[in-house]
Structure 1
Amino acid sequence: MKDLNSDFFYDIALDEDNKICSVFWADARTRAAYEEFDDVVSFDTTYLRNKYDIPFAPFVGVNHHGNSILLGYGLMSSKDTASFVWLFQCWLRCMRNKPPIGIITDQCRAMANAIQEVFPNTRHRWCLWHIMKKLPEKFQGMSTTQRSEGMNAFFDGFINYSTTLQQFVVQYDNAPRVKAQKEIQVDFSSLNMKVTCGSQSPIERQFQLEYTHARFEEVQTEFRSRMNCFIKETVKDDFFNTYTMKEERMWEGKCADKFFKVQLDPETKHCTCSCLLFEFRGIIYRHCLLVFGQEDAYSVP
């Protein structure tokens, strides 16, 4: 294991013949990014296999713009449990022994075994895209238009199946560098220009000040959707305020209303909803926004 100047990190695994079988590396930019965005990591080895049959295995996170970011890279000659354990241990050391809160992978048993061993307290979930991809095989005639934002979003135009290892070493850094430049431009735009609020709500104003453009525009969609939501019942006890929420919806030309339970802790201002869409999408949802609007003494946590 090598740790150069505490910034660039790499490790190499050798086989019984002293030949390289796996490599891991991460630069200073990816290590710094993980300090800020360590909540969920996606790991996938299905994107690219070169002519040496060595799959490229990037670690991917999500930044404050809702965009994917690279958090480490691996090349593996085998996809057994021992190889994944080695790679995950390298990544964990690289990230100063700070495991992610959650990790998303495909349905690889060897990978799942390695996650259980190296990240025992990390929540492991299967990738929705891989699940949806299999639906046509499992259900006759069913299809999906969901598109995976795969690793091609990073590396198309830089590397491909025919790329040699020597070319890969030269080219791999170009894609993250271009992506980092674009993120700097988006950061500059978010800091120096504001998306106009669509209401006089002080809560929306708070999001405008704190969120990046992309995230704030998502929240604005939820603000507009509040008009379809109504509080039907409120129950207050010593611990929580519980709201029964009705959301009016249309499905195939017919009313398809749904009901949800929203809980607000008056002391901590923590709000949760039975729809679980905050946990799934990572932004505050319309049901909680309506509750915060009713509880105007509270600010968004």
Structure 2
Amino acid sequence: MRRIEIKDDDAEAALAYLCGKAEIDSFFFYKFNVDEEIRLTNFFWADSTARMDYACFRDALAFDTTYRTNAYKKPLVVLVGVNHHHQTVVFGSALLIDESVGTYEWVLETFLIAMMNRKPISVVTDGDKAMRKAIKKVLPHACHRLCSWHLQRNAFTNVHIKDFTSIFARCMFMRGSAEEFEKVWHQMVENLGFNENRWVTEIYGKRKRWAEAYLHGKFFAGMRSTQRCESMNAYLNRFLKIRLRLYEFVQQFDRAILRIQQNEAKADFESNNSSLVLSTKLSILENHAVTVYTKESFLKFREEMKNAELFFVVGFVSDVSMRAYTLSKFRHPNLKWEVQFSPNIVTLKCSCMMYESIGIPCCHMVVVMKVEHLEEIPKSCILKKWTKLAKMHSRSSPENQMDNDMDWFVRYGSLSSMCNKLSYYASDTSSSFLEAKNEIENLTVRMEELYNSNLKGKKVTGDGATIRNQVRDPNIVKTKGNPGKVATNFQKGR
């Protein structure tokens, strides 16, 4: 049966499958290239749901490479982000010929083409040199963060001193200023005698890409590591076997992504149809947060409301346009935070910069909300990404054609979501099914006439190829990743 399915060769069958998806999903995107022998080298794909998710949640991007997912040992790159339920969403995927700088540049450039050249604010990777160089060239303005988990593992591997990993982690996550970090770091290096340690010197040179003191205020949607990528790789391994042919691979990958999208639909239903129990004395403010935020976002904000009990005002300065509150913490009198409140435009800004980093108002802001008797969270302190309306499209006049295209596929995603709800109710009985079927057929004819009157090309094929020859199967590649079992001459003992 497998031979019959891939009678036109494996690469041709996989590309035919993607082409078939493009016929069904009119906003499906795929792109590939071939070598001199017309063998498939790299190919990238993203469906309409992934592209719509990127339009809504494109601020923070993470990507990593996983191995042993297909018969050709082609590395799989999955580009992910965080949605309004704090779940991992897939923006796009690619199978690569190697892990060189040029290949990663091709992935990122193709990704930007698929996403209307909308660039992310921040990127998280494991620190691979080829990835870093590609990001620097293709996404020069994105804030690049190195994975904290990989750094701690490297610290344990390279520095064989007891408790150094925990000491390094404290330096990495300390929330002080850059000057305070420098003081703590140099003191640590001097005390442990690391002035000549090569790894410590190298990692210090990269401190602006991993130290919290340098990164606070940069928005990463709560991501400090590539853990979401690692979790995604572990999840995909349940569907992707080691020796899958490409045709089988793309099918199994689709099954895996469909399950992830169903999890988002379930979280949407719970947020919109469940009532959370209010548990703080600030019931008016808490109730407003319930109506605005998704369930997971609300729980994070409520934790800040509870932490606000530990803080109190120790200083106050006021002028015509701004009031500045100085806060201290119970049993930590030496620690100070400053919150600026502008009553005219109702904005809050805290020196801890948690809102700028994560998008959730901090406990210090909640203290000032209490002092100012605010019954609602100011609109300036509500990040749309974490709200129930994160995927609602607010129509605005586009500035250029790119914005117009972005509006187009956000509308496409909204209609797709509405049709899913219609299908659920219409499939309940035979009569409702027939009525919906007839109405959809009539409406489809009308919409097709409108579409044809304003036709736009949307097809994407191989790199610049209008008529392509038959694409041959790729060669088996050598990767940097897990080599699997290594043959040895030693016999395993019983």
Alignment TM class, shorter chain as reference: 0.7 to 0.9
Question: Kindly tell me: are residues 267 and 100 of structure 1, through their superposed partners in 2, closer, same or farther at Cα, counting changes over 3 Å?
Answer: farther
Q: For 2:338 and 2:348, locate their aligned partners in 1 and report how far apart those are by CA, in whole Å.
A: 11
- Matched with 2:52 is 32
State whether structure 2 residue 87 is matched by structure 1 residue 67: yes
Backbone CA RMSD of aligned residues:
2.6
2:125, 2:147 within 8 Å by CA — same for their partners in 1? Answer: yes
Q: Helix, strand or coil for the counterpart of 1:172?
A: helix
Q: Structure 2: how far apart are the matches of 1:156 and 1:195?
A: 35
Counting only pairs closer than 5 Å after superposition, residues 38-57 of structure 1 correspond to structure 2 as: 38-45=58-65, 47-50=66-69, 52-57=72-77
CA gap of 1:78–1:269, structure 2 versus 1, over 3 A, is farther
The answer to whether the 8 Å contact 1:233/1:244 transfers is yes
**Shift of residue 278, structure 1, vs aligned partner:** 2.8
Q: 2:139 aligns with which of 119, 125, 130?
A: 119
Q: Identify the residue that residue 300 of structure 1 maps to in structure 2.
A: 378
**Greater share of residues in helix:** 2
Q: Residue in 2 aligned with 1:252?
A: none
1:153 shift after superposition = 5.0
Partner of 2:285: 203
- Over 3 Å counting, the alpha-carbon distance change for 1:156 and 1:256 in structure 2 is farther
* Kept in 2: contact 1:41–1:103 (CA 8 A): yes
CA contact (8 A) 2:289 2:377 kept: no
Residue of structure 1 in register with 2:298 after alignment:
216
**Identity in percent:** 30
Displacement of 1:138 in angstroms is: 4.4
Q: Say if 2:254 is the partner of 1:173.
A: yes
1:141 counterpart = 2:162: yes
What is the one-letter code of the residue matched to 2:324? T
Is 1:192 aligned to 2:273, yes or no?
A: yes
Give the drift of 1:148: 2.7
CA distance in 1 between counterparts of 2:267 and 2:313 reads 38
Deviation at 1:123, TM superposition (A): 2.1
Aligned pair count reads 295
Cα distance in 1 between the residues matched to 2:155 and 2:359: 25
Instruction: Indicate the residue corresponding to 2:407 in structure 1.
Output: none
| 2:300 counterpart SS class | helix
Deviation at 1:147, TM superposition (A): 9.6
For 1:16 and 1:295, how far apart are their aligned partners in 2?
Answer: 69
Displacement after TM superposition at 1:6 (Å): 4.5
Q: Secondary structure at the match of 1:261?
A: strand
Structure 1 residue 283 corresponds to structure 2 residue 302: no
Q: Is residue 119 of structure 2 the alignment partner of residue 99 of structure 1?
A: yes
- Closer, same or farther in 2 for the Cα pair 1:200/1:55, shift >3 Å? same
Q: Is the 8 A contact 1:263 1:273 kept in 2?
A: yes
Superposition pairs for residues 238-249 of structure 1, below 5 Å? Answer: 238-248=320-330
1:224-235 mapped onto 2 (5 Å cutoff):
224-235=306-317
Q: How far apart in 2 are the matches of 1:229 and 1:196?
A: 24
User: With CA pairs under 8 Å and 6+ residues apart, which has the higher RCO, 1 or 2?
Assistant: 2
CA contact (8 A) 1:61 1:68 kept: yes
Larger mean CA deviation between 158-167 and 97-106 belongs to 158-167
Q: Classify 1:110/1:269 alpha carbon distance in 2 versus 1 (closer, same or farther; 3 Å).
A: farther
Shift of the 193–111 alpha-carbon distance from structure 1 to 2, 3 Å rule, reads same
Letter of the structure 1 residue corresponding to residue 74 of structure 2: I
- Alignment partner of 2:76: what SS? coil
Cα gap change, 1:265 to 1:122, in 2 (>3 Å): farther
- Pick which of 234-243 and 141-150 moved more: 141-150
Quote the offset at 1:226 in angstroms. 1.0
Deviation per CA, 1:44-84: give whole Å up to 9, x if none: 11x33445332110110101111110000011112222111
Contact kept? 1:158, 1:171, Cα under 8 Å: yes
2:132 maps to a residue whose letter is A
2:262 alignment partner AA = Q
Q: Structure 2: which amino acid aligns with 1:222?
A: E
Q: Which runs of 5+ in 1 are unaligned?
A: 250-254
Q: 1:256 offset after TM fit, Å?
A: 8.3
Q: Which amino acid aligns with 2:139?
A: F
User: Which residue identity does 2:49 align to in structure 1?
Assistant: R
**Structure 1's 157 and 274: CA in aligned 2 closer, same or farther, altered over 3 A?**
same
Aligned counterpart, 1:273:
350
Distance 2:234 2:345 in 1: 39
User: Do 1:154 and 1:179's aligned partners in 2 also have CA atoms closer than 8 Å?
Assistant: no
Distance 1:268 1:137 in 2: 52
Normalising by the residue count of structure 1, what TM-score does the alignment of the two structures yield? 0.87
In the TM superposition, residue 25 of structure 1 has moved relative to its aligned partner by: 0.2
Q: Say yes or no: does 1:108 pair with 2:128.
A: yes
Q: Is the 8 A contact 1:269 1:299 kept in 2?
A: no
Q: Give 1:182 deviation, angstroms.
A: 1.7
Which region of structure 1 is more displaced relative to structure 2, 266-275 or 179-188?
Answer: 266-275
Q: Secondary structure at the match of 1:57?
A: strand
Does the 8 Å CA contact 2:126/2:226 hold for their aligned counterparts? Answer: no
SS at match of 2:227: coil
Tell me the distance in 2 between the aligned counterparts of 1:214 and 1:53.
38
- Which amino acid letter does the alignment assign opposite residue 259 of structure 1? K
